[in-house]
Structure 1
Amino acid sequence: MKKYILLTLLITSLGFAQKTTLYCIGDSTMANKKDPDKNPEHGWAQVLQSFFKDNIAVVNKAQNGRSTRSFINEKRWDSIYNKLKKGDFVFIEFGHNDEKIEDPSRYTNPHTAYRYNLIRFVKETREKGAIPILLTSISRRNFNEKGVLVPTHGDYPLETRLVAQEYKVPFIDLEYYTELLEQSYGPEQSKLLHLHFKAGENAYYDKDKADDTHLSLLGATKIAQIVIDQIKETNDPLLNGLKKGIK
């Protein structure tokens, strides 16, 4: 299947809008982090604005710990929906916390609640004349003893792919591309994409840190670049929204 229109509309409308807002909704892998000058952890959408000119405003509403269920129940989606205007865009990347089966405030069955929450985001975004873009969850650094990267997201990425296909939603398969990224670095060097520090090695952590889910600045920047690369593959003029020299 083609990249679904992957941002054909995204790119085309940017040429006509004076200011286009690109909203990002999702979890901690995407979210802005406090103290970015000191904090080694970054969400990938936190660095996304640096790729775009001023005519595109990246508004990162992703929040640590949120699933599709809690993002909706806490009225975070409503606050975005009420501001959406024609020609805006919404990047949608959930899954990590929808998997939390021990937490009824966050868990969703991938084939029912998760699926229908994604459909709600898509339909309500379109109601406002804005463009939804679905993204699968980023891969975790989860290599087994043989050096094989083992998936951890179950059926959540599958449902994202199916919703994108059924509703003809622009789609970026971040799980796939971040698997390639992790594998290209390998079991040891891929720690650089995440948060691996010995106690005292980084002033922000007073204890050993070994986090294979969340991202370093390097990891966040690499994933933001993947998103940009997927936009550019469409050959449509969102390229007009990219800063000169962005490759």
Structure 2
Amino acid sequence: MKKYIILTLLITTVSFAQKTTLYCIGDSTMANKKDPEKNPEHGWAQVLQPLFKDNIVVVNKAVNGRSTKSFIAEKRWDSIYQKLKKGDYVFIEFGHNDEKIEDPARYTNPHTAYRYNLIKFVKESREKGAIPVLLTSISRRNFNEKGVLVPTHGDYPLETRLVAQEHKVPFIDLEYHTELLEQSYGPDKSKELHLHFKAGDNPYYDKDKADDTHLSLLGATKIAEIVINEIKQSEEPLLKNLKNGIK
């Protein structure tokens, strides 16, 4: 009996030790939403866990409305930093709210504060032996009258790319891949990726809803699949554990 208990404890300990935590930090396009059974809005990291085996544990710490600046100021990053351990991953996707130039609590200059906040996340993740992964912001559904998808993020994606390159950080260009996604659906059908409802179409909304930034379950799922596909195709050795953890 003692041998059985000891063996069980050893198996449990080894099994627990093999689990890798994937922290997700970012804004509402990534965040978990309340009441997911009824709420049409989903963040793409909200639907990421089912795409991994049990040895990868997704901890989604993205929060609606946050920029790199407010995420740090509210001590949200500190709370994650304290828990980080060797071999963990940190997916970093900010930009939508860093652009809010009318809001001093959130706005960051892309070439200064935004850049240095990304570098802070990268360096402090590495201090703990964790692996940071930088992602550009997802594209908004912003087609002009000619059916051309017009970018809205200014220089924020550029700075994300530069930080990834200069600091040799694994990188997923979500802006590029979600542009392709939006374009593949086209100006009208791409509404299905977002939140477009007439009053009464969905019991969650009592008024017309036309949101081209946030995601429907379909949109969130498609973007989560893009992330998984990019990990699969990556030759980055630091992503090996994540790649092996994909279903």
Quick check: TM above 0.5? Answer: yes
Specify whether residues 29 and 208 from structure 1 end up closer, same or farther in structure 2 by C-alpha distance, changes over 3 A only: same
- Which residue pairs with 1:92 in the alignment? 92
**Two-structure CA RMSD over aligned residues (Å):** 1.3
Unaligned ranges ≥5, structure 1: 1-15
Instruction: Report the Cα distance in structure 2 between the residues aligned to 1:135 and 1:99, rounded to whole angstroms.
Output: 16
Paired with 1:239 and 1:31, the residues of 2 have a C-alpha distance of: 22
Letter of the structure 2 residue corresponding to residue 238 of structure 1 = L
Residue number in structure 1 paired with 2:110: 110
1:161 alignment partner in structure 2: 161
Change (3 A) 1:197 1:175: same
Q: How far did 1:17 drift?
A: 5.3
- AA aligned to 1:99 is E
What is the deviation of 1:242?
A: 1.4
Alpha-carbon separation, structure 1, partners of 2:167 and 2:113: 17
Q: Where does residue 238 of structure 1 map in the other structure?
A: 242
Alignment size in residue pairs: 229
Whether the 8 Å contact between 1:17 and 1:87 is mirrored in structure 2 is no
Residues 30, 43 of structure 2: 8 Å contact kept: yes
Per the alignment, residue 139 of structure 1 pairs with 139
User: Aligned residue for 1:13?
Assistant: none
CA contact (8 A) 2:87 2:131 kept: yes
Kindly provide the CA deviation profile for residues 149-178 of structure 1, in whole angstroms up to 9, marking residues without a partner as x: 000000000000000000000000000000
Structure 1 or 2: more helix by fraction:
2
**Per chain length, whose mean CA-contact separation is higher, i.e. which structure has more relative contact order (CA < 8 Å, sep 6+)?**
1
Letter in 1 for 2:141: R
Q: TM-score, normalised by structure 2?
A: 0.91
Q: Distance in 1 between matches of 2:155 and 2:27?
A: 17
Moved over 2 A (4+): 234-240
1:55 partner amino acid: N
> Offset at 1:239?
3.4
* Distance (Å, rounded) in 2 between the aligned partners of 1:231 and 1:65: 27
* Secondary structure class of the residue paired with 1:203: coil
Alpha-carbon distance between aligned partners in 2 of 1:142 and 1:218, rounded to the nearest angstrom: 18
Residue in structure 1 matched with residue 60 of structure 2 by the alignment: 60
Highest Rg: 1 or 2?
Answer: 2
Unaligned 5+ runs, structure 2: 1-15
Q: Distance in 1 between matches of 2:233 and 2:223?
A: 15
